[in-house]
Every structure is written in structure tokens, then in C-alpha cells.
Amino acid sequence: VRFRLWIVTVLLAGCCGAAACGESHDVRAAELRDAAGSWAATLRLVTEEWTRGALPSHFVQSTTSVATTELQSAARLVRFTVGDAASAPADEVLARVPLLNEAVARGDRAAAMEIVRALASAVPPKPTPPVARPR
Amino acid sequence: MKNFVKIGLGVVTSIGGFLDVGAIATTALAGAAFGFQLLWVVLLGTGCVILLTEMCGRLAAVSHHSLADAIRERLGFPYFSIPFVGEFLVDLLVLAAEIGGVAVALHLVTGVSYLWFVPLCALAVWAFLWLGTFTIIERGVSIAGLITLCFVVAACWMHPPWAEVARGAIPSLPSRDGVRYWFLAVSILGALISPYLLNFYATGAIEDKWTIKDIRVNRVIATAGMSFGSVIALAILVLAAVVLGPRGIQVDSYEQTVFILTQPFGRWGLYLFAASLGIACFGAALQVSLNLAYVTAQGFGWNWSENLKPHEDARFAAVYTAAVLVGAALLFVGDPLKLTTVSMALNAVIAPFIVFPLLVIMNDRAYLRDHRNHAIGNVLVAGVVLIAFAVAVVAIPLEVLGG
């Protein structure tokens, strides 16, 4: 009886642990997806503001630099804990950052807008409506 | 007329004291992540801080004791050492965040890494403290801090849905991301009920030589000053909810918060944001550095006054010099925004150790004579103490899970 109890306990603990790890993996992947969407939206807005002359080009480049640093470290963690596939949204953003930097350095506003529009549709952000009681 | 001038200057100073890197960062984070849902926390924090600063000012005006001084004298050095150590460590983190805020403001305008500006900003803070007087620090920087009113103008300019904004004033439970919601609520409370602000306010009243005659002035300054400061913090939350949230932008760096002013003001928005952040953080860095020196000097019975020459209170000057050095050094270890959110949550942890003794002292005839707390005042402060304790208990777990 003691042996069976021991096995049941180990199995229960294993199930709980697996469930917790599984949930944690899902949560981590979802967090990275949200972060990538947020940075894609940021790059779109910063480029729009640069295009209309509201922000200087050095500001766009420092924003892309922060986005790269943040997403690289988040993607590394998710790749290590969840798997390579889970870091796809971040990789999508990271792949387009050099192209955006080049377009901004050239002063090519149309190309820059094209890149960030494509990025925003590839990695859609999760909007929060400006309300007090979201549904 | 003299009182009106005093009130006007006091209100302006209180606005400067209220708004710092913590208030700017936490309200921007909250607005971007939860729309207007956390607006009630700003109102709750404002109510608490009005109550507490009014009491600290009354304590100073009647007994000529600062909060640290009174805690040490009334409850003894062993008790005093608990909030002292906590406040000293947390204030160092807050100081680092404030110096980081000034450096980030310069980085936003120039594009040069903020780390290059950290030594320069620390030197400027130290030079102001070394060469300036309390009046220059209190009023000069606070008057310059009125530039932060641009957030209020921008919030009106963006035509937010005012009915929804008003609904945000009613407390509500989170519909998603509960841990993050409560973490931000705790951080906002920590940013608004800053322990450094309480002792600095009381010490400022002593530096300004307040007497019993100034009790009414104190009441008006505490209420109006903190309320105006709160309006600016609310404006930042509303702007983040209107500009960043609908686009799905979460605030992970200061670069993302600039949009709240570039959307309404175009290119001027960047400069206004950088100036607001820089001046608010510079003022707060001066206040936190001074408070570190005040608390230490008052705790150990040293000479202290920002109006004295550094050689007349050498240990006082040595403490703020060392604090500025350590604060600047911390920025080479941690990111300014993350440092800000962590230090604001830790502010919430140490708050009850400072708020509870205040309740005891405010009922002591030896200190307050006929100006002790009334029953309603005591009930309200007991409520603040309970909130402070609840927030302190959950702050660390929330920091780990949701920070």
C-alpha cells in the first residue's frame, strides 16, 4: 500500500509539474508574441512620426536598437525554455530591423513605411482599447 | 498677501515634489497596458499622500520635528533603524532611477547613449546641492517643473472619451493579466506615497521656518499641490491609454513614451517630453539626495541644513555626495526603467514602517499639543496604514510574478 501511495504521489507531482511547465511555456511564448507585436507597432509609429518630420532619424535608430536588444534577450530565453519555433514572432521583427535602419539612413521614407506596414501585418499587436472596463 | 505668495510657491513646489520618474513611468505603463482601468489607483494614492503630507507639515509646524527626527525620539533608535535602513537603500535606488531619468532625457534629444550622460547628470545634481540653498533647490527647480503641465494640455488636445475617463475613477477588478494589473497598482501607490516625500516635506517646513501660524497654509499647500501633481500624473495615464494602448504598444523603454507628446505636438513633443522628464527627474534627484542626508543626519543627531555651508555640516554634505556617487554607479548595472519599477514597488514595502509611527506621533500631545489628529483623521490614516500594510505584503510576490 505504501509503495502504491508513493507511486501515486510521484505521478500526481509529475502531472502537476508538467502542467505547470506547460502553462509556463505557453505563457512565455504568448509574452514574447505580445512583446514582438508591441515592438512592431512601436517601429511603425516611430517611422510614421519620422516620415511626418515629428522625430529625427537618430531617434528611429535608437528605438530600433532598443527593440533589437529587448527582443534578442527575450527570444533567447524562449528558445532555450520553449523551443526555436516559439521565437518566430521576435525573429520576424529582428529580421526587418536592419532593412528599416538602412531605409532611414538613406532617407527613403516610402521604403521605411513599406517595411513597417509589412511588419505590423506579419506580427500583429494586441491593442488595449481606451476604456475603463474592457470586455 | 504674504500667505498667498507662500501658498502659491508651496503649491508649485508640491507639484514638483509629486511628479518624478516613478509617477511618469508607472502611469505611462498603466495607461498603455490597461487603458483607464487603473485611474482609481492614482486617485487613491493622491488621497493618501494629501493626508500624510498634511500631517507631516503639521508635525513640523507645531513641534519643529521632521518625521525621522520624531520617529527616533518617540520610538527609540532600535525602531528607527528599521525604516532608516529600508528607506536609505530604497532611496538609493530611487536616486539612481531619477539620475537615469535625466540622462535618458538627454539621450532622447541627442541619440547618444544615456550612460555617457550619467556622470554629467550626477555632477550637476551634486553641484546644485553643494552650491545651492534650500530655497533655490525647492523653488527654482519646481518652477521649471511647471513645464510638465504640457501633459495636461496634450491630454485635452487628444480629446479622450471623458465618460470612460470618469468611469476609470471607480475601482474595478482586472479582466485579464491580474498579476500585472496589481503589480502596476502597487507600483503607482509606491510612486505616489514615496517615503522620501514625507520626510522631505516635513524637513522643508523646518528649513522654511514654519510655525503654528502656518498650519492653514500647510493644509492648502498639501491639498492643492498634491492634487495638481495628481492631475499631471492622470494626464500621462490618459495620454498613454489614448496613444499607446490602441496601437498595442506596451512600455518597455522610455523611447515608447515619447509618442504621448509627439502625437499632439509633432516635433515639439520630443523636446517637451525630454524637458519634462529631465526637469522632473532632476528636481526629484535633488530632493532624494537631500532626504538621504536629512534622514541620516537627523537619525544620528548631526548638524543638518541645506542653508548651511558644506563645511558647517560636513557629514551632511558627505552623505549626499556619497549617495549621488552610488546612485550614478547603480545605473551602470541596471536599466533606468526597470530600476524605476523595482524601486517604486520597494517604496511600497517600506511605507508602512514609516506611516504607522506617524499615526502614533500625530496623537502624542507632547509633539502636537492641541493640534493632534481628530477622530476622522485617525480613521482615515488607519485606512492608509492598512492599505500600506496590504500593499507591502503583496509587493514582493507581485514583483517576482508580474514585474
Percentage of the residues of chain B whose pLDDT score is greater than 90: 61
**pLDDT in the model for residue B177:** 85
Mean local confidence (pLDDT), B387-396: 84
As a 3-state breakdown, chain A gives helix, strand, coil percent values, each rounded to 5, of: 85, 0, 15
Residue A2 confidence (pLDDT): 59
In chain B, residues with a C-beta closer than 8 Å to the C-beta of A46 are 255, 259
The reported pLDDT for the residue numbered A1 is 52
Q: What is the mean pLDDT of chain B?
A: 90
Q: How far is B192 from chain A (nearest CA, A)?
A: 21
**C-alpha grid cell for residue B386?**
492598512
Interchain CB contact of A68 with B (< 8 Å)? no
The grid cell for B376 is 476622522
- Give the model's confidence band at A16: pLDDT under 50 very low, under 70 low, under 90 confident, else very high: low
- Answer yes or no: do A55 and B176 touch at CB < 8 A: no
Write out pLDDT tens, residues A58-93: 999 999 999 999 999 999 988 888 888 888 999 999
Measure A7 CA to nearest chain B CA, in Å.
Answer: 32
Model pLDDT for residues B194-247, shown as the tens digit of each residue: 888 899 999 999 998 999 999 999 999 899 888 988 999 999 999 999 999 999
- Per-residue confidence (pLDDT) for residue A29, from 0 to 100: 87
Q: Is A61 on the interface with B (CB under 8 A)?
A: yes
Residue in B264, B252, B104, B107 with CA at minimum distance from that of residue A42: B252
Distance from CA of B382 to the nearest CA of A (A): 29
Band the pLDDT of B37: cuts 50, 70, 90. Answer: very high
Taking 70 as the threshold, does the pLDDT of residue A11 lie above it? Answer: no
Q: Is 70 exceeded by the pLDDT of residue B167?
A: yes
**Least CB-CB distance to B255: which of A44, A62, A131?**
A62
CB B101 within 8 A of CB B277: yes
Q: For B12-80, give the DSSP string.
A: HHHHHHH-SHHHHHHHHHHHHHHTTTTHHHHHHHHHHHHHHHHHHHHHHHHH---HHHHHHHHHHHHHH
User: Does the CB of A45 have a partner CB in chain B at under 8 Å?
Assistant: yes
Encode pLDDT of A29-54 as tens digits: 888 999 999 999 999 999 999 999 99
Q: Which of A14-28, B60-74, B137-151 has the lowest mean pLDDT?
A: A14-28
Name every residue in B having a CB less than 8 A away from some CB of A. Answer: 32-37, 39, 107-108, 110-111, 160-161, 164-165, 167-168, 170, 172, 175-176, 241-242, 245-250, 252-253, 255-256, 258-259, 262-263, 266-267, 269-270
With contact defined as beta carbons under 8 Å apart, do B187 and B396 qualify?
Answer: no
The pLDDT of residue A17 is 53
CA dihedral B243, B246, B248, B249 (to 10 degrees): 10
* Closest Cβ–Cβ partner in B35, B160, B255 for A66: B255
Asked whether the predicted pLDDT for residue A20 surpasses 70, the reply is no
User: Average pLDDT, stretch B363-368?
Assistant: 92
Closest chain A residue to the Cα of B33, Cα to Cα: A128
More confident residue, A135 or A44: A44
pLDDT digits (tens, 9 = 90+) for B39-77: 999 999 999 999 999 999 999 999 999 999 999 999 999
What does the DSSP assignment read for B168-188? TTS----SS-HHHHHHHHHHH
> Which DSSP symbol is given to B371?
G
- What value, to the nearest 5°, has the Cα angle with vertex A131 and ends A125 and A133? 105
CA B137 to chain A, closest CA, distance in angstroms equals 32
Instruction: Choose from A125-134, B27-36, B388-397 the range with maximum mean pLDDT.
Output: B27-36
Residues B82 and B353: beta-carbon distance below 8 Å: yes
The Cα A67–Cα A69 span in angstroms is: 6
Which of A3-17, B79-93, B143-157 is least confident?
A3-17
Which chain B residues are closer than 8 Å to A124 by Cβ? 248
Q: How many beta carbons lie within 10 A of that of residue B114, not counting itself?
A: 23
Instruction: Give the whole-angstrom CA distance, residue B138 versus residue B306.
Output: 11
Q: Is A126 on the interface with B (CB under 8 A)?
A: yes
CA angle B126, B129, B135 (to 5 degrees): 155
Residue A14 has pLDDT above 70, yes or no: no
The pLDDT of residue B195 is 86
Q: Do A43 and A100 contact (CB within 8 A), yes or no?
A: yes
- CA triple A120-A121-A124, angle to 5 deg: 70
Nearest to B402 by CA among B46, B19, B30: B30
Tell me what pLDDT residue B40 has. 96
What is the per-residue pLDDT for A12?
Answer: 63
pLDDT on residue A99: 95
Question: Which residue of chain B is at minimal alpha-carbon distance from A71?
Answer: B252
Are A60 and A99 contacting, i.e. CB atoms less than 8 angstroms apart?
Answer: no
pLDDT at B403: 55
> Hey, are the CB atoms on B36 and A41 less than 8 Å from each other?
no
Q: Report chain B residues whose CB lies below 8 A from the CB of A38.
A: 248-250, 252
pLDDT in tens, B83-102: 999 999 999 999 999 999 99
DSSP assignment of B280-291, as one string?
HHHHHHHHHHHH
Mean pLDDT to the nearest integer, B1-19: 71
Lowest mean pLDDT among B124-128, B141-145, B318-322: B141-145
For B169, phi then psi, to 5°, come to: -75, -15
pLDDT of residue B44: 95
Query: What is the pLDDT, as a whole number, of residue B134?
Result: 85
**Closest residue in B to A61 (Cα–Cα):** B111
Q: Assign A125 to helix, strand or coil.
A: coil
- The CA distance from B55 to the nearest CA of chain A, in Å, is 33
Residues of A in contact with B33 (CB under 8 A): 128
Report the residue of B184, B247, B400 to disrupt the A interface, i.e. the one with the largest count of A CBs within 10 Å: B247
Q: What is the structure's pLDDT at A62? A: 94
Q: Which among A27, A32, A38, A63 is the top mutation candidate for probing chain B, defined by the most B β-carbons within 10 Å of its own β-carbon? A: A38
Report ipTM for this prediction: 0.86
Residue A23 has pLDDT above 70, yes or no: no
pLDDT value, residue B139: 77
Mean pLDDT of B290-301: 92
- Span B149-171, average pLDDT: 95
> At B16, is the pLDDT very low, low, confident or very high (cuts 50, 70, 90)?
low
